Chains A and B, each alone.
Chain A
Amino acid sequence: MKNVMNCLLIVCLTSSFVYGNKYESAMFAAIEKLYDSNDIQGYLDAVSAFERIGEAEKDKWLPFYYAGLGYIWASHTTQEGPTVDEYLGKAQEFIDRASKLSPNNDELITLQGYIYMMKVVVDPPNRGPQFSGRAMQEFGKAVGMNENNPRALLLLGRMQMGTDQFFGNDVSQSCGMIMKASQMFDVQAPKTKIDPSWGKEMADMFVSECKAN
């Protein structure tokens, strides 16, 4: 019986060891869920998971970062202006929480710009003048802080490309930024498996837009 108890103890210990870095594995699972989602239910489930992790780990900014990202992506699933605004509002709340835990973080600044970018989509004539400038400013700030952030460079390039197209200007410079960002995705590996790594698919899409021009 003593053997049994020992064995039991070992099993219990092992299982908690396997869960090991419980935070990382829970995050990883939720990130997979987020990246695999393509409908509103999927995004909101992932957001809930991040929110739970964030509530338990009071000093980690990543869960709120991903919860914010989840809501931004959730806003892609609808065309209804007020719903888009509602999702972006929730994304903003999470980003504000994350920014309190990790101020001056280029990934969070990039997400802030991403929110502004999505706000423009709802009502370009009215919001364009206000929010496209702000979005570019945020992306520019993030690139300034970390020139190796491919997401910031990619979105900055895309905004610049939109402006160039609008004014009929040459897009070679903005496409150059997109190409450079795209290459970064190929060579850079995230530091840990839970660090932000999204953007490659988006980059491929923008690169093909550039090539089509």
Chain B
Amino acid sequence: MKNHVWRPLLVALAGVALLLTARAIIVPDDFGVNGESFTYNFYRAGSVDDWKGFKVKYRGKEYCRECHEEKVEENLASPHSVIQCENCHGPAVDHPENPELLPTESTRLLCLRCHATLPYPQSNRAEMPSVSPEEHNPDENCVECHNPHNPDLEAM
């Protein structure tokens, strides 16, 4: 064959080789169909482990109990036993090392999330013990009178 056939053919072949080499370098080895279908399971397998290794921040009441047993016991005996400590105290992460102190939220707005009256009969909101924020001591912080660990008024 003549040169004018070979030359462009070689250039094209070199291009393909370059693409394949670049692909081999850039695309990770574990990339491919990792499951039943190309449509839904075409991905880098290591990504699943990346997500599994994501940092857990909310540790749960049992973690709090390890040091604050008295507080947890008091809370568990109260109507607020259904609320996680970290809902108000913030995520523990690696407390007490990091953070050393948790940013406790004790604002009126936090309590009103559940206890502001809303006339919604088809949700359990209507069943909540509730107050009208404008009428019930509007300038006071709830925790001045109510103990958030045990809000039972009889127990105060």
Query: Is the A/B pair a real complex?
Result: no
